[in-house]
């Protein structure tokens, strides 16, 4: 699947992005995963003759909180659906004066402060350590930057996303701390999503839509969902346009990602074949079958 010459782009839509318009041959289908329930059915569709698969991260209608999303099931289901690269769209708070609400940021680093989520497909019975030094795929990110130029959407290149557990927004002291760490934006969902995409040997890139200045900002003492949703609604169309302009750029790409995403497990699995737990190995079939069989 990972070596497929045919790109299948998976889009994970965050808050405010529960579907994608302009798609044809649309069909919502249930995809079963041994890792549990994905956030929703997957929308299989076509864009400019290319297969795409859309998944609303919080489910249609937003029933799932960031902590109750089954990130493993989502990534596994996307891979089972044939997805080779994932474009993630997310709402974030800004930790920088110059990243105003309405700004789009192509995130390239993360600090993971989440603590109540399953973060790996691997574990007892099959141990693997993948590198997430560069958690975002440079090739996919490059296509997003080109798409931004084409559509006239300003996309800030690079930024560190602080992933917090939530569900509450940050305290002022936390917000100031994250600023002192050099973080640029804050959200609740891109971790462990990005780590799991890497374990599943999928390219991953994240477009962060700034919806608010987090509470550090003197003029924004509180973050409210009302504020966030207002900015989201006025920007969701732009996010959709950006994603839709990026997808056709993948049409003639080399099958294997030159950044190594599709081979992330090549030297990562440390458990000897004879010591692997067959039940876990079976569960890993979609995400790691290529590496486990080679
Ligand atoms: C609705 S505000 C907080 C909510 O929005 C972000 O979600 P997503 O990344 O899926 O757009 C944030 O992380 C929180 O989950
Ligand atoms: N300020 C903020 N903190 C965490 N997640 C967010 N999502 C949107 N704005 C946010």
Which residue, judged by its Cα, is nearest atom 4 of ligand 2?
Answer: 187
> What pLDDT, on the 0 to 100 scale, is given for residue 9?
96
Q: Which helix (H) or strand (E) holds 9?
A: strand 9-13
> What pLDDT, on the 0 to 100 scale, is given for residue 5?
63
- 55 Cβ closer than 6 Å to some ligand 1 atom: no
Compute, in angstroms, the gap from residue 225 CA to the centroid of ligand 2.
9
Strands 155-157 and 104-107: parallel
> What pLDDT, on the 0 to 100 scale, is given for residue 220?
78
In a domain, 57, yes or no: yes
> To test ligand 1's pocket by mutation, which of 61, 189, 206, 233 has the most ligand atoms within 8 angstroms of CB?
189
**Confidence check on the interface: ipTM exceeds 0.90, yes or no:** yes
> What pLDDT, on the 0 to 100 scale, is given for residue 200?
98
**DSSP reduced 3-state for 171:** coil
Q: Are 231 and 169 in contact (CB under 8 A)?
A: no
Compute, in angstroms, the gap from residue 117 CA to the centroid of ligand 2.
18
Estimate to the nearest angstrom the gap between the alpha carbon of 195 and the chain centroid: 9
Binding residues for substrate: 188, 212-214
For ligand 1, what atom is nearest to the CA of residue 91? 11
In a domain, 193, yes or no: yes
Concerning whether 212 is annotated as a catalytic residue, the answer is yes
According to DSSP, the residues that pair with 155 across neighbouring strands are: 104
- 13 Cβ closer than 6 Å to some ligand 2 atom: no
> What pLDDT, on the 0 to 100 scale, is given for residue 48?
86
Nearest ligand for residue 226 CA:
1
- Provide the whole-model pTM: 0.96
d(Cα 222, Cα 224) in Å, to the nearest integer?
Answer: 6
In a domain, 41, yes or no: yes
- 216 Cβ closer than 6 Å to some ligand 2 atom: no
Compute, in angstroms, the gap from residue 112 CA to the centroid of ligand 1.
15
Strands 42-47 and 24-29: antiparallel
In a domain, 213, yes or no: yes
Look at the chain and report how many structural domains it folds into. Answer: 1
In a domain, 3, yes or no: no
Residue 69, token pair as written in the block = 């999303």
The one catalytic residue among 19, 25, 212, 285: 212
In a domain, 140, yes or no: yes
CATH code, 191: 3.40.50.1580
In a domain, 1, yes or no: no
Which residue, judged by its Cα, is nearest atom 1 of ligand 2?
Answer: 93
- 74 Cβ closer than 6 Å to some ligand 1 atom: no
Q: Which domain holds residue 109?
A: 9-293
> What pLDDT, on the 0 to 100 scale, is given for residue 4?
57
Nearest ligand for residue 188 CA:
1
In a domain, 2, yes or no: no
Q: What is the DSSP code (8-state) at residue 126?
A: B
pLDDT in tens, the chain (294 residues): 445 568 999 999 999 899 888 899 999 999 999 999 999 999 999 998 999 999 999 999 999 999 999 999 999 999 999 999 999 999 999 999 999 999 999 999 999 999 999 999 999 999 999 999 999 999 999 999 999 999 999 999 999 999 999 999 999 999 999 999 999 999 999 999 999 999 999 999 999 999 999 999 988 778 889 989 899 988 988 998 999 999 999 988 888 899 999 999 999 999 999 999 999 999 999 999 999 998
Compute, in angstroms, the gap from residue 274 CA to the centroid of ligand 2.
45
């Amino acid at each position: 699947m990972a070596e497929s010459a045919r790109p299948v782009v998976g889009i994970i839509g965050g808050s405010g992005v529960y579907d994608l318009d302009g798609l044809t041959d649309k069909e919502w289908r249930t995809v079963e995963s041994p890792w549990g329930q994905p956030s929703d059915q997957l929308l299989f569709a076509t864009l400019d003759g290319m297969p795409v698969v859309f998944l609303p991260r919080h489910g249609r209608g937003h029933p799932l909180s960031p902590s109750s999303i089954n990130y493993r099931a989502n990534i596994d289901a996307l891979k089972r659906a044939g997805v080779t690269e994932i474009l993630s769209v997310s709402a974030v708070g800004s930790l920088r004066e110059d990243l105003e609400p309405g700004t789009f940021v192509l995130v390239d680093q993360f600090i993971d402060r989440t603590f109540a989520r399953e973060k790996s497909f691997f574990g007892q019975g099959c141990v693997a350590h993948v590198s997430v030094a560069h958690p975002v795929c440079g090739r996919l990110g490059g296509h997003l930057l080109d798409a931004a130029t084409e559509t006239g959407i300003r996309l800030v290149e690079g930024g560190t996303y602080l992933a917090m557990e939530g569900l509450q927004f940050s305290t002022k002291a936390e917000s100031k701390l994250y600023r002192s760490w050099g973080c640029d934006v804050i959200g609740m969902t891109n971790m462990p999503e990005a780590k799991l995409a890497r374990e599943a040997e999928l390219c991953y890139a994240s477009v962060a839509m700034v919806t608010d200045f987090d509470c550090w900002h003197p003029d924004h003492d509180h973050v409210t969902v009302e504020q966030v949703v207002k900015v989201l609604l006025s920007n969701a169309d732009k996010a959709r346009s950006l994603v839709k302009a990026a997808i056709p750029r993948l049409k003639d790409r080399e099958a294997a990602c030159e950044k190594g995403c599709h081979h992330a497990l090549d030297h990562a699995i440390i458990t000897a074949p004879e010591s692997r737990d067959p039940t876990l190995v079976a569960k890993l079939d979609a995400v790691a079958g290529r590496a486990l069989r080679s």
